[in-house]
Amino acid sequence: MKRKYLLQAALLLSGLLCTPFSTAANAQEHGAHTHGEADVLIILESTSLFITLESPAVNLLGFEHAPHTNKQKQLAKEVVAKLQKAEHFFAITPACVLKNNSVDFPFELENTSTHHVSTNGNHTSKEHHHDVSLNVEWQCKRTKKLEIDIKIFEEFKGFNSITAQWIAFDRQNAAKLNKHNSVVILEPAQ
């Protein structure tokens, strides 16, 4: 699908441009991803808003292996259920209508058929590291300014910082977000 391809290409680009300037004391570097950090890509295309979140699984779960105890399995289900309600941690002003909310979760979940589970990938270059990705699409009203508060820091304690990049109103921008500075403002150049 063309749009999905565009998002993937933009994410790839964002990965190449991303500079590792994290100073988080407990962040672990291992090439593929850094625990505590995540990437968000936002694209506003006319009245369609696309947000992709790419995060190490550990930020959401507190561990990064396949859940095996009942407690871990239960937690994994809760995390996926939360991610399927993206309106809870992307607060958009003026409000937009959620159109699509898909979660790419790296582990099998039992008794679950409502979401897409991906078990391919993530096993070659970074055996013990797994990413979760979230793709959300909203339909917005025509506007000159859109504010997006990324409240994921409140929802999941494992996030120290998020590198957000956005393409909107014919311009491109980026910012490092944290729990004290979590708002992205999309607006045309002055």
Sites for Zn ion among residues 69-128 (CB under 5 A): none
Q: Between 39 and 64, whose beta carbon lies closer to Zn ion?
A: 64
From 70, 181, 84, select the one nearest 132 (Cα to Cα): 84
Query: What is the DSSP-derived secondary structure letter of residue 120?
Result: S
First to last CA, the chain: 34
Measured CA to CA in angstroms, residue 5 lies from 2, 10, 14 at distances of: 5, 8, 14
C-beta atoms surrounding 142 within 10 Å? 6
Contact window for Zn ion (CB under 5 A) among 44-52, 53-61, 93-101, 172-180: 53-61
Beta-carbon contacts of 104 under 8 Å, excluding residues fewer than 6 positions away, are 116, 118, 132, 133, 134, 135
Measured CA to CA, the distance from residue 50 to residue 20 in angstroms comes to 25
Which residue number has the CB closest to Zn ion?
129
Q: How far is the CB of 133 from Zn ion (least distance, A)?
A: 14
Does residue 158 interact with Zn ion by CB under 5 A? no
When the beta carbons of 118 and 173 are compared against Zn ion, the nearer one is: 118
Pairing outcome for strands 37-45 and 161-168: parallel
CB 131 → Zn ion: shortest distance, Å? Answer: 8
Asked if 129 is part of the footprint of Zn ion (rule: CB under 5 A), the reply reads yes
Q: How far is the CB of 149 from Zn ion (least distance, A)?
A: 27
The distance of closest approach from Cβ of residue 107 to Zn ion in the complex, given in angstroms and rounded to an integer, is: 13
Give the interface size with Zn ion as a residue count (CB under 5 A). 3
The residue within the footprint of Zn ion, chosen from 56, 67, 106, 158 (CB under 5 A), is 56
Q: Is 131 in the site for Zn ion (CB under 5 A)?
A: no
The Cβ of residue 15 has, within 10 Å, a number of other Cβ atoms equal to 13
* Interface contacts to Zn ion, rule CB under 5 A: 56, 64, 129
